[in-house]
Amino acid sequence: MKDQQNEIIDLLAKRFIARPDVHAEQWNNGGWSPKEVPFGRKLLQSHLDGKATLGHYMLSEEDECKLFAFDLDLDKPTKDRNSGMVIPIYYRLDDGTAIPINPREAWYGDNQEIVAGLTLELRSLAEILALRVRTMFDLDVAVAFSGNKGLHVYAFLGMPLPAELAIEMSNAVLGSFNEMFYATDGKNFYKHRSPAFEHVTVETFPKQAKRPNGGYGNLMKLPLGKDSRTGHKGFFVDLDAPDDVLQSTDPIPTLKGMAVQGV
């Protein structure tokens, strides 16, 4: 058991941590603050144990990163900036009726038809992206439940590479769908045009090609940790399980790039 934990820690460090001298910790309200304390075995163990929730900054001091990723989140109703009116999001039930939902709440709600439908959307989109990463760049990929409102699709570069290139690659993956993804808000947020994924937004990481002056740039939550806000523990998703459920899978083969059979 101890060996297994150590192996996971090693793999997390190898696959994810581009900037080892600083990490971020999530507060209970979901916010993050940087800690200029290097990642260590103990720290990562506390992350796996759910005692702390750690984030890794995407860019190294040399502006390189070890992965690019797609953060798939369920959408939420937003307010129209002009009128202040909430713009509702509808879900079409099997009987044809459309009901307004907050997908993020509905995913944890009682209506199993909606829960399964939203899971299916997330899973399908994650698999489509993972598959495209594989076919385009022959990279190892992994899909993880973030512990909160969606999934992360990771594409591991195998070694630290310029962040600029990683951004180009993530954009190329979305761009290869022939304008099916369109930017919604800023340069890193996208939505898929088809109604098949109408409740999911896609955010790409890394966001910066170079670290902003005096800052670390954006971070991502390390997988397998507990989300401080929801209390849910993240896990790697078994892509061989039925499409409308999220089942965890062994992180070791996943992180070694051996386990993503379905993709």
Partner 1 sequence: MSNQPTRAELIDTYRAKARESQGSKLKKPVPVWDDDLIPSTGDKAYVHDDIDTLLDSVGIVQAYRLWCGKMEPIEGSRTESVMVSCPIPGHQDDNPSAWLNTDKDVWHCGACSEGGDKFDIAAYSNDYNVPGYKTDGSFPDLRRDMAYDLGYRVTPAIGTADIVTPLTEDESDDEDPEPAEPIFAGDKAPAPNLQVVQVPDTDKLASATADASIIEIPTDYNAEIEIAPSIEWPDIVTEGTFLREWMETCSVDDLPEEYYFWLGLMALGLATGHDVVLDDRMPVKANLFVCLFGPSGIGKSRATYPFRRLLSEALPYDAVDPYSTGVHQMAQPGSAEGLLESFSKPIVDPMTNVPSGQYAIVRGLLNIAELSSLMGRAARTGSTLRPLMIELYDANSSIQEVTVGRGVRKAEKPFCSTITTTQPKVVRDVLAKGDAESGFANRWIFAMGPPKKLVAIGGASIDVSESARLLIQIRTWTSQKRAIRMDDEALAVWTKFFDRTLVPLKMDAESSGLVARCDLTMKKAILLFAINEKASVVTKDIVERALTLWPYLAKTYSMLDSSLGTGEFDECAEAILASIARLHRSTKKWPTVYQISRAVPRRFGRDVVERVIKTMAAINEISVAPDVSGKRGRNAVRYKPATDSDPATAYK
Contact footprint for partner 1 (CB under 8 A): 80-85, 87, 90, 97-100, 136-138, 158-159, 161-162, 165, 168-169, 171-176, 178-179, 181-184, 190, 193, 195, 198
**Amino acid in position 118:** L
C-beta of 103 vs 147, nearer to partner 1: 103
CA 42 – CA 123 distance, rounded (Å): 33
Beta carbon of residue 110, minimum distance to partner 1 (angstroms, whole number): 14
**Amino acid in position 160:** P
Beta carbon of residue 79, minimum distance to partner 1 (angstroms, whole number): 10
Phi, psi of 140 (to 5 degrees): -75, 140
C-beta of 173 vs 239, nearer to partner 1: 173
Query: Which three-class secondary structure state does DSSP give residue 259?
Result: coil
C-beta of 184 vs 261, nearer to partner 1: 184
C-beta of 176 vs 261, nearer to partner 1: 176
**Amino acid in position 144:** A
Q: What is the DSSP string of 143-194?
A: EEE-SSSEEEEEEEEEEEEEHHHHHHHHHHHHHTTTT-EEE-SSSSEEEESS
CA 114 – CA 260 distance, rounded (Å): 26
> In terms of DSSP H, where are the helices of the chain?
2-16, 41-48, 103-106, 112-137, 163-175, 251-255
Beta carbon of residue 158, minimum distance to partner 1 (angstroms, whole number): 7
C-beta of 1 vs 159, nearer to partner 1: 159
Beta carbon of residue 198, minimum distance to partner 1 (angstroms, whole number): 8
The number of residues in the chain equals 263
C-beta of 51 vs 210, nearer to partner 1: 210
Beta carbon of residue 208, minimum distance to partner 1 (angstroms, whole number): 17
Beta carbon of residue 167, minimum distance to partner 1 (angstroms, whole number): 9
